Each structure stands twice: as C-alpha cells, then as structure tokens.
Amino acid sequence: SLMIALLLSGGTAIVVILLLNTLFTRYQLKKLLQPVDALTRAAGRVESGDFTQAIEYRGRDEFAPVCAAFNRMQEHLLAEQEKNTAYERARTELVAGISHDLRTPLTSILGYLQLLEDETLPPAERREYLDVVKGRAKALQGLITTFYDLSRLEGGEYPIRQEHVDLRASLSGLLASFYNDFTDGGF
C-alpha cells in the first residue's frame, strides 16, 4: 500500500509537472510569437504598399530593436514614396510645359507656311514670312537643345558652370524675336 501511495503521488507529481510545463511552454510560445506575428502582419502591409502603420511592440526582449528597426525602415520607405510621388508630379508638369513650349513656335511655323502657300504673295512679303519661319525653326531647335541639355543635366552627364548674364539684354533679345508675332497678331 505504501508502494501504491508512492506511485500515485509520484504519478500525480509527474502529471502536475507535465501540465505546468505545457502551460509554461504555451505562455512562452505565445509571448515569443506575438512580435513575430506583428512583424509578419507589418511585412504584409509593407508589401501591399502601406507604410503608415507602425508596429506597436513594447516588449523588452530581442524583438524590441527588430521592431524599432522595422518601423524606421517603414518611415524611410514612406518618405521615399512621397519624394517619388512629388518627383513624378514635377516630371508630368515638366512634360506638359515642354509640350506647350514646343507647340507655340510650331504653330507659328505652320501658320506662316500656310500663308506662304498663297502664290499671289509679293516676293518681299514671301521673304519676310520665310525669315519668320526660319527664326521660329531656329527657336524650336534651341528649345529642343535646351530640353536635351536639361535631361543630360538631370542624368548627371552635364557639367554645370556659372556664368554672369545681362538679364535685361537677354529679355530684350527674346522680346525682339517675338515682336512680329505680337504686332501681326500671330501669337
């Protein structure tokens, strides 16, 4: 009977130890998987393009610096995404501006060419219109060269050098080049 009591108490102790071990293991596993689950969910959000929700982990174990690093990475990715969005917006505006800047002299050229098709034009007027077309074509060529240079500059292929320019003389020259268009109503 003593032997049975010892076996029963030993068996009970083993069952209690196994039960406590199982409960402790589950608690530790749950505690361990909590930051892993948070990181997994956050990685899924980042993969779908959502960089706005930080990981809320307040533990003081090995996962705390990993979660903090993940949050910093998300902030960096969000900042880069915002920069890229602004860059794309500026790029779109630049393309629209370039299109407008190219269309203006091209429209002028086409208008003058249409006038030149009139065979009854006096030679002096024809010569004047040809000069205007030539000037507009050169302006168009200059714009295209400028845009090409800008793309090279943006790509880092073009050296920048500063130069003093007389702004008043430059603007006067620009206005003079458009004088005929303004006075003839060609613009």
Cα distance between the two ends of the chain: 117
Least confident of 31-40, 102-111, 157-166: 157-166
52-102 tens-digit pLDDT: 888 888 777 888 888 899 899 999 999 999 999 999 999 889 888 888 888
Judge contact between 180 and 132, C-beta under 8 A.
Answer: yes
Residues 6+ away with beta carbon under 8 Å from 14:
none
pLDDT band, residue 29 (cuts 50/70/90): confident
Which pair of tokens denotes residue 39?
A: 């990181």
Average per-residue pLDDT in the chain?
86
Which pair of tokens denotes residue 134?
A: 């030539």
89-135 tens-digit pLDDT: 998 898 888 888 888 889 989 999 999 998 888 999 999 999 999 99
Alpha-carbon distances of 131 from 107, 115, 126, rounded to whole Å: 16, 13, 9
Local structure of residue 121 (DSSP, 8 states): S
pLDDT of residue 19: 95
pLDDT band, residue 15 (cuts 50/70/90): very high
171-180 tens-digit pLDDT: 888 888 887 7
Flag whether pLDDT at 187 surpasses 80.
no
Judge contact between 66 and 36, C-beta under 8 A.
Answer: no
Which pair of tokens denotes residue 151?
A: 């793309």
Q: What is the C-alpha to C-alpha distance for residues 2 and 77, in angstroms, rounded to an integer?
A: 71
pLDDT of residue 185: 60
Global pTM exceeds 0.75: no
Q: What is the C-alpha to C-alpha distance for residues 183 and 103, in angstroms, rounded to an integer?
A: 20
Q: DSSP string spanning 129-158?
A: HHHHHHHHHHHHHHHHHHHHHHHHHHTT-S
Q: Tell me the mean pLDDT in the region 155-172.
A: 83
Q: What is the C-alpha to C-alpha distance for residues 143 and 101, in angstroms, rounded to an integer?
A: 8
pLDDT of residue 105: 86
pLDDT band, residue 184 (cuts 50/70/90): low
